[in-house]
Chains A and B, each alone.
Chain A
Amino acid sequence: MTKKFDLKPTIVLSAICVVIVALLAVVNMFTAPVIEAAQNAAANEALLVVLPEGKNFKEVDLTGKNLPANVDKAYTEDGGGYVFRVTVTGKSAGLMIMFGIDKNGAIVGTKVIADEETDTYDVKVFPLVEGTDGGYKGMTLESFEPVLVGGATLTSKAYGEAAKIALGAFAALNGGEVDFRSPEQILQDNCNAALGTEGVTFTQWFTVTAISGVDKVYEATEGRVFVIGENFVGVNANGDVTTTEASEADKTTALNANAKIQSITLTDVTIPAGTSKEKAEVVSIKKTNEDAYIFELLGFGYQYTFDYGDYTPISIKLAIDAQGKILDVLTVSHNESKGYGDACAQEEYYEQYLGKGDSDIVESADKYPHNHGDDLIASDSTDVGAISSATYTTLGYQRAVKLAFSVFEVLTADEGGNA
């Protein structure tokens, strides 16, 4: 005899579920508006900090708005103002900042929501730019100027970048045309456009010869792009100018520059004996047919000074012209402290060295002979090659550069060149 299927348990359980759901629906009817009002009040409180006159904030759906990924959230309010939450990377790890912008597109207030910046930098930057009386108050996209703080450049640049993104987002949401590409992206796009390529990554050419009329050179396997003023002029691997809209003068400049680069030859040079220096080392030397020298160097910075187990020296590439001036310098690799010595890898750091001679660079330890980098006095920020709050990295770098000049002096003396 087969067992009869009993529907009763299913019916009872289902009925209980229905009744409970009905009870919850009734309670929800009364409590949901109260909860929503409380949540809105809490959210509004945060938004009012940066836009005190704002009324009735509503979150904006950013789907399809083509805003950069840095813009996490956006709120509009009845008066036409907006609040944007923007995340950027500063010196250390990340900054999440809220910007209140009024209906005219001017910043009303800013507030850091979360930051992982090194304490010394946020303490310097935030008081100057936060709040409704900060450095960015009243700025619009047209009048925008980043507020840079000495000794905390990267953090303050990041803050400025976030402010500009917020202003751009406001313009974009109000129908304006805004270019949100990062400077690096714009550079790559311009290079690709000049050379007639797509998706190619260009790197800056390491300068081993002076090229007149050209500000910068970028190269890829497909060719080179010469930056002449504000114009990008491409010359492909065959030596043909690819930028048809360039002026004849620019085309000529680019072709001449390309020819000059192609004429450069390199020969290996033996490292002279007895030229080693404490806390710096020459790895290799090459010489160009224009008597410029290209050094690969090792600088021993913070990690070495304190004898950390897996220390990696700072690897530096340096070019000195026949007149003893620095043509170019590049930090190839390093393992310096994040938030401090890692600034040695930033382009704005190398720029300090360009065009400088031996006498222009004074090791910070020489200025403080009692110090020799042994205590924590930061190097003088006006020193060439100084990194604020990174004394040992500074000394490691400066000593490597000074070593290159010492060796250059020996090499050119041997040849009867300039000392």
Chain B
Amino acid sequence: MKNSKLMILLRGIIMENPVLILVLGTCPTLATTNSLVSAFSMGIAATLVLICSNAVISALRNIIPETVRIPCYIVVIAGFVTVVQMLLQAYLPDIYKMLGVYLALIVVNCIILGRAEMFARKNGVVDSILDGVGMGLGFLLALLVMALIREVFGAGAFFGIELPFMEQIKIPALTQAPGGFLVFGLVIAVMNKLTEKRGGVKRKSFSCEGCPSAHICNKTSCSEMEETIQDAPEAKTMEGEDA
């Protein structure tokens, strides 16, 4: 079955959600999800960077030599993050202050570098943009789900608006680090349950070929893992996916 553009877009939202399935970008996820406003802001900022960096890296994929691909990716990503920072600082200073150090940390967000490495350098510009949109929306969705739980049940508020009926039953610990981890774990568990009947994660994404550390790891372990998964009756691989 030919891989559709829609499938590329949707994959990042549910099946390969970067936060809840691939468990990438956990640092900003936990740091910015104690309020819906900051979660939304972080999600949008990361999505913009992801789309732009995917597009540029895809456009330059045949030019960038293998030996300097990571530094090139970093320069591109850092450039776009800095652009977003400057724009926020100028036109949305409150959001800029709210995101603080986590805005700059988008540069080292695993989602962005990971998608550049795993998709953008192997696919065309349009597909890469769609992948960026899908992954970005998936990241945003995950942040919003986390933030909804933490802000409503932890702070008793919704987008900063106090909820009087939550005053007596809110659990302030949910807005702190331990609560964040707890919520994160629960949401991942729910997500795993929802996706297991659909074949779970596409294991090929974790195959040696797609792994950035393939050249230094013990390839025997990855191969054994793949064999085990392929033997499982529910395991399905998505057709048309680049190896």
Contact = CB atoms under 8 A, between A and B. Distances in A.
**Are A and B bound to each other?**
yes
A27 B86 contact: yes
A23 B91 CA distance: 18
Nearest to B73: A16
B232 to A, nearest CB: 42
A30 B86 CA distance: 9
B79 A8 contact: no
B91 A34 contact: yes
A377 interface: no
Chain A interface main SS type? helix
Nearest to A22: B79
Contacts of B64: 12, 16
B72 A12 contact: yes
A13 B90 contact: no
B161 interface: no
Interface string B86-107: 1101110100000000000000
A413 interface: no
A190 B70 CA distance: 69
Interface in A1-32: 6, 8-10, 12-13, 16-17, 20-21, 23-24, 27-28, 30-32
Contacts of A23: 79, 83
Contacts of B65: 6, 8-9, 12
Contact of A24 (B63, B79, B93): B79
Given A9-B67, A24-B82, A24-B83, A16 B72 contact: yes
Nearest to B89: A35
A38 interface: yes
A24 B87 CA distance: 11
B68 A35 contact: no
B125 interface: no
A31 B75 contact: no
Contacts of A24: 79, 82-83, 86
A8 to B, nearest CB: 6
A326 B60 CA distance: 91
Interface string A26-60: 01101110110010000000000000000000000
B76 interface: yes
Given A8-B65, A38-B93, A13 B75 contact: yes
Contact of A31 (B60, B72, B90): B90
B71 interface: yes
A97 to B, nearest CB: 26
A35 B90 contact: yes
B76 A16 contact: yes
A13 B79 contact: no
B83 A16 contact: no
A21 B82 CA distance: 10
Given A27-B87, A35-B90, A38-B90, A20 B79 contact: yes
Contact of B68 (A9, A28, A30, A32): A9
B45 to A, nearest CB: 15
A16 B79 CA distance: 10
A16 B89 contact: no
Given A31-B87, A31-B89, A38-B90, A12 B63 contact: yes
B76 A13 contact: no
A390 B3 CA distance: 82
A20 B76 contact: yes
Given A23-B83, A24-B79, A13 B89 contact: no
A13 B78 CA distance: 14
A20 B75 contact: yes
Nearest to B57: A16
Contacts of B90: 30-32, 34-35, 38
Contacts of A28: 86
Contacts of A10: 68
Contacts of A35: 86, 89-90
A13 B72 contact: yes
A16 B87 contact: no
Contact of B60 (A16, A17, A21): A16
A27 B83 contact: yes
A6 B67 CA distance: 10
B42 to A, nearest CB: 20
A16 B53 CA distance: 12
Contacts of B63: 12
Given A9-B65, A12-B68, A31 B76 contact: no
Give me the 10 closest cross-chain CB pairs, A-B, nearest first.
Answer: A20-B79, A31-B90, A34-B90, A9-B68, A9-B65, A31-B86, A13-B68, A9-B67, A27-B83, A35-B90
26 contacts: A6-B67, A8-B65, A9-B65, A10-B68, A12-B63, A12-B65, A13-B72, A13-B75, A16-B76, A20-B75, A20-B76, A20-B78, A23-B79, A24-B79, A24-B82, A24-B83, A27-B83, A27-B86, A31-B87, A31-B89, A31-B91, A32-B86, A32-B90, A34-B90, A35-B89, A38-B93
Given A13-B72, A20-B78, A24-B82, 13 more contacts: A6-B67, A8-B65, A9-B68, A12-B68, A13-B68, A13-B75, A20-B79, A24-B79, A27-B82, A27-B83, A31-B90, A32-B90, A35-B86
